[in-house]
Amino acid sequence: MAKQAKKPVKITETILRDAHQSLIATRMTTEQMLPIIDKMDKVGYHSVECWGGATFDASLRFLKEDPWERLRKLRDGFKNTKLQMLFRGQNILGYNHYADDVVEYFVQKSIANGIDIIRIFDCLNDIRNLQTAVKAANKEKGHAQVALSYTLGDAYTLDYWTDIAKKIQDMGANSLCIKDMAGLLTPYKAEELVKALKESVSIPIDLHTHYTSGVASMTYLKAVEAGCDIIDTAMSPFALGTSQPATEVMAEVFKETPYDPKFDQALLAEIAEYFRPIREHALETGLLNPKVLGVNIKTLMYQVPGGMLSNLVSQLKEMGQEDKYYEVLEEVPRVRKDFGEPPLVTPSSQIVGTQAVLNVVTGERYKMVTKESKKLLSGEFGQTVKPFNKEVQKKCIGNTKPITCRPADLIKPQLKEIEKEMARYKQQDEDVLTYALFPQVATEFFEYREAQQKKVDKSIADKENKAYPV
């Protein structure tokens, strides 16, 4: 047998973003991250995903930290490693669509503050909602990676994936990510999908999955053998469960094969050792719920992401209707079908899940309809792969005329207005963007920041490290 040419798999480390978002509700602080950066920088990662997703909101809301400051500190520490963020297309890091000028400015500022790779996705895979962000990343000389939200259903054939991948390459994406947020991609399906994509496009392919259904490590193995270029993993203390497969394990799996990333296991062990007490503390304080560490094969039965499962449980608990759990799980695929079979990822997962709960609890389907369900059925989030159920649409939005254009085409430029509105709080250009995404949370944070600054005695300030004793 001919010797196979070397093709080391590239690895994106997620411990500073998706791993702690998935396991401990995005509560890792910047101070917890900084001491280990020097060692992480020596590993040889393709990139470190450390920003975007829910980190922005959580930093402001729960940690009273400036997310932009975090990014700058991480950038200072990582001298050799590319930094990566997750970006929700026209939703940026929020839950609504924003005007193009806000999207462009956010991309510009993210790259200026240290991001190299922007992973851009849309919850409906409506590529019209990705264009502005991709163009902006290209303009700023950043790497635009477009992520396809992977899901199952009649509409999602191999032809669907290869067709959309070609469009994404034509749009100017530098790489393509299969974003399997619910852990639905099984090993042999991954092999088939990666092979088909490799034949259709020439840009690198990254696979991102979650361990929720228990198959993720095997899925990575088959995907890499099929030609996948990059995989996303997390250091073992924050791996598995609803997070990613473990970095050390995957590095060992490919050892002495053509895919060997040649990572130093002793160095990885030191990094894991650093994060272990953070995990232990999260377990002791209840921040890390052991439930999210198990395997849940129901994910494959109901195609419901892990985070969505826990949301459904807490919604039913609040209503005192926990006995309706399985009815709700069976209702989710029905609502999804009525709503044009969208992938279940933020915010579509929350919309479909909440509607399914209401349908079951009220005892009549679509008797009560959420504001978000109406928005989705009115085309305000974009176009779904399949048409909406016409009767359901009529029942929910009445005679409202659905929009068919790209939703952001209806949004006038917003930046100037926003800047005017928050002028009194502005200390850096980035504050305008923070306010644009989360006006209420940002205002609270800015007021907190001002109060902290008033406590500072400038005469004993540490000018060297820009740190002030509080």
Average of per-residue pLDDT across 175-191 = 96
- Using DSSP bridges, classify how beta strands 117-121 and 82-87 pair: parallel, antiparallel or unpaired: parallel
Which pLDDT does position 15 carry in this prediction? 98
* Per-residue confidence band for 470, with pLDDT thresholds at 50, 70 and 90: very low
- pLDDT bucket at 423, cuts 50 / 70 / 90: very high
Statement: residue 2 has pLDDT above 90: no
**For 466-470, what is the mean pLDDT?**
41
- The model's pLDDT over 192-206, given as tens digits with 9 standing for 90+, comes to 999 999 999 999 999
**Mean pLDDT across 365-378:** 97
Q: Residue 247: which pLDDT band, with cuts at 50, 70 and 90?
A: very high
Residue 147 has φ and ψ, to the nearest 5°, of -105, 130
Rounded to whole angstroms, how far apart are CA atoms 352 and 345?
A: 10
With pLDDT > 90 as the criterion, what percentage of the chain qualifies? 84
**Residue predicted with more confidence, 154 or 460:** 154
pTM: 0.93
**Which whole number is the average pLDDT over 175-195?**
97
The residue ranges of every structural domain in the chain are 10-285, 304-404, 413-460
What are the CA-CA distances from residue 279 to residues 52, 239, 275 (Å)?
A: 22, 10, 6
**In what helix (H) or strand (E) does residue 199 lie, and over which residues does it extend?**
helix 187-200
CATH class given for the domain over 304-404: mainly alpha
Read off the pLDDT of each residue in 162-181 and give the average, rounded to a whole number: 97
CATH class of 10-285: alpha beta
What is the radius of gyration, based on Cα positions, of the chain?
A: 22
Position 124 pLDDT exceeds 70: yes
pLDDT of 183 reads 93
Q: What is residue 40's predicted lDDT score, i.e. its pLDDT?
A: 98
Residues 6+ away with beta carbon under 8 Å from 205: 175, 176, 177, 178, 194, 197, 198, 227, 228, 229, 230
pLDDT at 313: 80
Of residues 264 and 292, more confidence is placed in 264
Between 82 and 462, whose confidence is greater? 82
Predicted local distance difference test score (pLDDT) of residue 462: 52
Residue 96: which pLDDT band, with cuts at 50, 70 and 90? confident
Check residue 215 and give its pLDDT. 96
- Of the pLDDT bands very low, low, confident and very high (cuts 50, 70, 90), residue 459 is low
34's enclosing H/E stretch is none
Residues 6 or more apart from 240 whose CB is under 8 A from it? Answer: 211, 246, 293
Flag whether pLDDT at 236 surpasses 50.
yes
On the question of pLDDT at 126 being above 90, the answer is yes
Contact predicate 343/312, CB 8 Å: no
Mean pLDDT of the chain: 94
Q: Is the pLDDT of residue 163 over 60?
A: yes
Largest Cα separation within the chain, whole Å, is: 73
- State residue 407's pLDDT score: 96
Which long-range contacts link 285-292 to residues 24+ away (Cβ below 8 Å)?
287/24, 287/25, 287/27, 288/23, 288/24, 292/22, 292/23, 292/241, 292/242
In degrees and rounded to multiples of 5, residue 374 shows phi and psi of: -65, -40
**What does the block give as tokens for 96?**
């609504």
**N-term to C-term CA, the chain:** 67
Q: What is the DSSP letter of 291?
A: G
**What pLDDT does 461 receive?**
52
Confidence (pLDDT) at 1: 53
290 falls in which pLDDT band (50, 70, 90)? Answer: confident
Task: Using the predicted structure, report yes or no on whether residue 32 has a pLDDT greater than 80.
Answer: yes
